[in-house]
Every structure is written in structure tokens, then in C-alpha cells.
């Protein structure tokens, strides 16, 4: 019985130590989430408006040879840019993104994958490791961008993807990331990066947006396209950053609650064992006293 009490006390102490860690991680993630949430909320309207403008220009420029980044061609080679986190302990966040990537390949690019023409660029260590374990061709150049998260570092990855697309190294580029909704909710999504998608306007079929280009259409599009694509990728990374901290905060909150439940059960077990030990000792004392009196 003393051995059992010691074991339960040890487990209680271990769970309490773990709970202190989960509570601390929750607080750290909550602080980081506030900053990350402000960044994506401020960025999203600007990025969305730029993307809509670019898609409208592309939709109304059929046959324009200057729009190399909007050129659609038969899909033989595929680039997937998977944005996950560098660290774990954030629930099923990274696992869901890896599953979404595998599902995308199976549903849309299975023939390209079987021919070895699907490559994954990982932004964030966890997703890249998951795809490597699954046997995908991967590139680690941009894995550690979250270590120095800024528009300039993301711009490098965007420029490399654009250059590879223009050279014909890839025929389509897809972004896989988590769109931030709130601390407890993320939307895992696939978004076309290249070629630039066209707007499908069902309400005004046949009508074109009226654009006035100054100084000239070719010069303006050549200047704007890379910048808008840089912004699109940066927005996706900011979404993923906020989603990661939200997922980790929620996971650590649930872990702390689970620790409370576990502690409650262990304390009940400990008290019962202690009471049983006391009862046994009293019984032995009474029995010994009765034997002496007899």
C-alpha cells in the first residue's frame, strides 16, 4: 500500500508539472496571436483588393502576349507551396495541411505524381517533413522563412516560383495553407498562385471592366504583377502564422483542462488508497488489542 501511495503522488506531481508547461505555452501563444491577428486583419483587405484587380485585368486581356504569368498550358509539372509551422504541439494543424496536400495530389495531379513531376516547397518544417516521409520530391530552401518573417524574405520565394513558372519548369503553382478565422477556427484551403486565375463573373457575362492604364498597359502590368503576387504569398504566410498560434493556444487550453481532469481522478485514487491504508492499520491495532485482552 505505501508503494501504491508513492506511485500516485509521483504521478500527481508529474501531471502538475506538465500542466504548468501547457498553461505557460497557452499564455505565450495568446500573446503572439494578438500580434499575428492584427497583422493579417490589416493585410487581408489590401491583398484581396489587389488580387481581384489583377484577376480582372487578366480576364479582360485574352490573347495578350505580355501576360506570361497568366498563360495557361497543359499541366505536366506541378509545384505545391505548403505552408505549415516549425513546431508541433498545435493539435492537428500540421497533420490536416499534410492530408490536404496528399488529397489534392490524389484528386487532381495523380498522373503527374506518378511521373515524378510534383514538387513540394515547404515553408515551415513540419509540413516539409511530413511530405518527405510520404516520398514526395521536396525543396528545403524556404523551410525556415518563419525564423525571419518579413515581406522581403517571402518575396524571395515568390520570385523563385514566378521565375520557375516562366521558364516552364512548372505549369501550375498551388498554395496550401490555413486561412485564419479566429483562435479556435482555421480553414484549410488550396489557392491557385500561378497561372493567375481569371475572374468568373456570372452576373455580367460578356461585360468587361473598364480600365484606364497609365503610363501604358504593358508597363503597368509588368510592374504590378510581381508585386501583387508577392503580396498574395505574404498574406497566405500571415494567415498561416496566425492560424498556428490560434491552434496552439486552443490545444494547450484543452491540454490544461485534461490535466485538471486527470489530477481530479488521481487525487480521488490517492485519498481512497490513503483511507484504505489507515483503515487497515486501525483494524490491525484493534485486532492486536483484542488478542492481548483475550
**What are the two backbone dihedrals, phi and then psi, of residue 181, each rounded to the nearest 5 degrees?**
-110, -60
- 69 and 161, same domain (yes or no): yes
- 108 and 238, same domain (yes or no): yes
Residue 204: pLDDT band by 50, 70, 90 thresholds? very low
- 6 and 84, same domain (yes or no): no
- 94 and 177, same domain (yes or no): yes
pLDDT digits (tens, 9 = 90+) for 63-87: 554 578 888 899 999 999 999 999 9
The DSSP code for 120 is E
Average pLDDT score over residue span 139-154: 92
Closest CA to 156 of 195, 198, 121, 120: 121
88: phi > 0 → left, psi -120 to 50 → alpha, else beta; which? beta
H or E element in which residue 263 lies: helix 217-293
Residue 268's domain comprises 2-19+253-293
Q: Read out DSSP for 146-198?
A: GGG-SHHHHHHHHHHHHHHHHTTS-SEEEEEEEEEEETTEEEEEEEEEESPPP
pLDDT value at residue 202: 45
- 186 and 119, same domain (yes or no): yes
- 277 and 182, same domain (yes or no): no
Residue 272 belongs to domain with CATH number:
1.10.287.80
Residue 233 belongs to domain with CATH number:
3.40.1380.10
Domain assignment present for 80: yes
Domain assignment present for 25: no
- 68 and 146, same domain (yes or no): yes
How far apart, in whole angstroms, are the C-alpha atoms of residue 84 and residue 237? 9
Q: Global pTM?
A: 0.85
- 108 and 197, same domain (yes or no): yes
- 76 and 187, same domain (yes or no): yes
Q: Report residue 54 as a C-alpha cell.
A: 489583377
Q: Is 79 helix (H, G, I), strand (E, B) or coil?
A: strand
**Overall residue count recorded for the chain in this entry:** 294
- 39 and 183, same domain (yes or no): yes
pLDDT value at residue 62: 58
H or E element in which residue 121 lies: strand 118-123
- C-alpha radius of gyration, the chain, whole number: 29
CA torsion 65-66-68-69 (nearest 10°) is -130
The total domain count for the chain is 2
Domain assignment present for 117: yes
The DSSP code for 42 is H
90 assigned to active site = yes
Instruction: Count Cβ atoms within 10 A of the Cβ of residue 12 and give its class: 0-12 exposed, 13-18 middle, 19 or more buried.
Output: middle
- Of the residues 80, 90, 118, 196, only one is catalytic, namely 90
pLDDT value at residue 201: 52
- 266 and 144, same domain (yes or no): no
pLDDT digits (tens, 9 = 90+) for 103-130: 999 999 999 999 999 999 999 999 999 9
- 225 and 264, same domain (yes or no): no
Amino acid at each position: 500500500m505505501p508503494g501504491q501511495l508513492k506511485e500516485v503522488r509521483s504521478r500527481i506531481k508529474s501531471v502538475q508539472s506538465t500542466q504548468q508547461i501547457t498553461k505557460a505555452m497557452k499564455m505565450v501563444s495568446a500573446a503572439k496571436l494578438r500580434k499575428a491577428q492584427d497583422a493579417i486583419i490589416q493585410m487581408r483587405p489590401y491583398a484581396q483588393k489587389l488580387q481581384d484587380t489583377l484577376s480582372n485585368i487578366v480576364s479582360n486581356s485574352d490573347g495578350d502576349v505580355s501576360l506570361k504569368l497568366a498563360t495557361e498550358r497543359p499541366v505536366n509539372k506541378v509545384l505545391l507551396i505548403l505552408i505549415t509551422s516549425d513546431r508541433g504541439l498545435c493539435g492537428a494543424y500540421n497533420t490536416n495541411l499534410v492530408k490536404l496536400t496528399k488529397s489534392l495530389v490524389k484528386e487532381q495531379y495523380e498522373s503527374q505524381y506518378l511521373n515524378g513531376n510534383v514538387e513540394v516547397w515547404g515553408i515551415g518544417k513540419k509540413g516539409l517533413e511530413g511530405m518527405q516521409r510520404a516520398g514526395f520530391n521536396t525543396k528545403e530552401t524556404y523551410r525556415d522563412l518563419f525564423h525571419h518573417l518579413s515581406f522581403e524574405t517571402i518575396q524571395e520565394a515568390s520570385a523563385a516560383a514566378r521565375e520557375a513558372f516562366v521558364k516552364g519548369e512548372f505549369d501550375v503553382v498551388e498554395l496550401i495553407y490555413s486561412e485564419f478565422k479566429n483562435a479556435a477556427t482555421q480553414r484549410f484551403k488550396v489557392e491557385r498562385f500561378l497561372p493567375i486565375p481569371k475572374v468568373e463573373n456570372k452576373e455580367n457575362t460578356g461585360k468587361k471592366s473598364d480600365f484606364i492604364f497609365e503610363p501604358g498597359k504593358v508597363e503597368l502590368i509588368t510592374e504590378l504583377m510581381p508585386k501583387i503576387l508577392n503580396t498574395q504569398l505574404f498574406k497566405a504566410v500571415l494567415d498561416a502564422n496566425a492560424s498556428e498560434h490560434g491552434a496552439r493556444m486552443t490545444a494547450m487550453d484543452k491540454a490544461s483542462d485534461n490535466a485538471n481532469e486527470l489530477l481530479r481522478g488521481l487525487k480521488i485514487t490517492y485519498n481512497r488508497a490513503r483511507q484504505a491504508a489507515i483503515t487497515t492499520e486501525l483494524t490491525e491495532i484493534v485486532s492486536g488489542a483484542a488478542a492481548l485482552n483475550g
